[in-house]
Amino acid sequence: MELRQLRYFIEVAEREHFTEAAEHLHVAQSAISLQISKLEGELGVTLFERTGRNIKLTPIGKTFLIHTKKAIKAIDYAKQKVDEYLDPEKGTIKIGYPTSLANHLLPTVISAFKANNPDVSYHLKQGSYALLLESVKNGEIDLAFLGPVPTDDPDLYSDILFSEGISLIVPANHPLSDHKNVHLSDLQSDDFILYPKGYILHEIAVDACKRAGFVPTITAEGEDMDAIKGLVSAGIGVSLLPDGTFYDRESRLTVKIPISSPEVKRTVGVITPKNRDLAPTEKVFYEFVKQFFSRLDKFQ
């Protein structure tokens, strides 16, 4: 069984077409057909059902595909680690991040790191809190920025980089828009625009309102910061967002107001897996991130 046979098999299986697979791989169709036949002969099973020019996986072919993809992923990962060990200055860093850290933290950190490491490549994955936790655990990515930082997960190392406040954002014509700060209880009659249920920022906002003595009336939801800010600017309602999301120029249609009570904050940091070592390039970036934020007084 050869590695190229497995790669050919995966390509044909996912496209269900020999010609398309051959074109994508820049290999003659006859060569792919020959290697697939050899693979089936060695395994002693039929992986594809052929009906004219159409093909589809047999039941055992589907099972073989699942495990083959895992094997190829592991081999590619191992090769990447060897390459990075030989030359850590030209490795690839896989980084996960949520939307709430996308407009300031992530570009700031990567820009600073690239200044001294111009040949490093990046594979960036945006996702929800739960998705990023799982992605680091299962090996899809090796490092992720998160807020708040999980501190009791047995499968992860967690480093808190800084804490930031959560502020109120209201339409510019809101009765409280000229206040220097607000008690969250003053908003109990307002409509709220939050992330959907299941998102960590949804939980933080709802918990803050409950601590202020009320359950928020949620009239709209948005899955990214721009959507939520846009709905607030349209006068649909108010929202609670991390201070780090206001680094871009605020709209004249909205106003950010600090919350005096209850205190609403979140930690922001980086998580890495406990069950595997970071590659040399990732270690360099990881140490850089910790040192970078330790030097920034404004994040303390």
Residues 293, 151 share a domain:
yes
Residue 250 has pLDDT above 70, yes or no: no
CB 270 within 8 Å of CB 143: yes
Alpha helices, DSSP H, located in 87-181 = 105-116, 129-138
Q: Is residue 271 part of a domain?
A: no
Q: Which residue type does 159 have?
A: D
Q: Of 86, 104, 136, which marks where a domain is finished?
A: 86
Is the CB of residue 235 less than 8 Å from the CB of residue 229?
no
Both 81 and 170 in a single domain?
Answer: no
For residue range 4-31, list pLDDT tens digits in order.
Answer: 999 999 999 998 888 888 888 888 989 9
In a domain, 213, yes or no: yes
The pLDDT score that the predictor gives to residue 249 is 58
Q: Is residue 293 part of a domain?
A: yes
Residue 45 maps to which CATH number?
Answer: 1.10.10.10
Instruction: Answer yes or no: is 291 within a domain.
Output: yes
Residues 186 and 257 in one domain: yes
Given a contact cutoff of 8 angstroms between Cβ atoms, the answer to whether 137 and 273 are in contact is yes
58 shares a domain with 191: no
The verdict on 22 and 74 lying in the same domain is yes
Considering the domain boundaries, does residue 137 fall inside one?
A: yes
Q: Based on the fold, state whether residues 205 and 283 are members of the same structural domain.
A: no
Do 101 and 182 share a domain, yes or no? no
Nearest to 94 by CA among 222, 274, 282, 250: 282
Give the global pTM: 0.69
Whether 99 and 152 map to the same domain: the answer is yes
Query: In the prediction, which pLDDT does 258 show?
Result: 96
Average model confidence (pLDDT) across the chain: 90
Q: Do 149 and 220 have their domain in common?
A: no
Distant-in-sequence, close-in-space partners of 197: CB < 8 Å, separation ≥ 6:
none
> CA 254 to CA 201: how far, in whole Å?
19
- Read off the pLDDT of residues 107-157 as tens digits, 9 standing for 90 and up: 999 999 999 889 888 989 998 899 999 999 988 898 999 999 998 899 999
- Asked whether residue 175 is domain-assigned, the answer is yes
Let me know whether 242 and 282 are in one domain: no
Distance CA 33, CA 82 (A): 32
Give the residue from 86, 114, 132 where a domain finishes.
Answer: 86
Residue 95: pLDDT band (50, 70, 90) is very high
Query: Is pLDDT at 280 greater than 90 in this prediction?
Result: no
- Domain assignment present for residue 168? The answer is yes
Overall domain count for the chain: 3
Range of the domain at 241: 162-266
| CATH number, position 240 | 3.40.190.10
- My answer on whether 169 and 150 are in the same domain is no
Q: Which of 86, 119, 141 is the last residue of a domain?
A: 86
Same domain? 166 vs 261? yes
Residue 170 in domain: yes
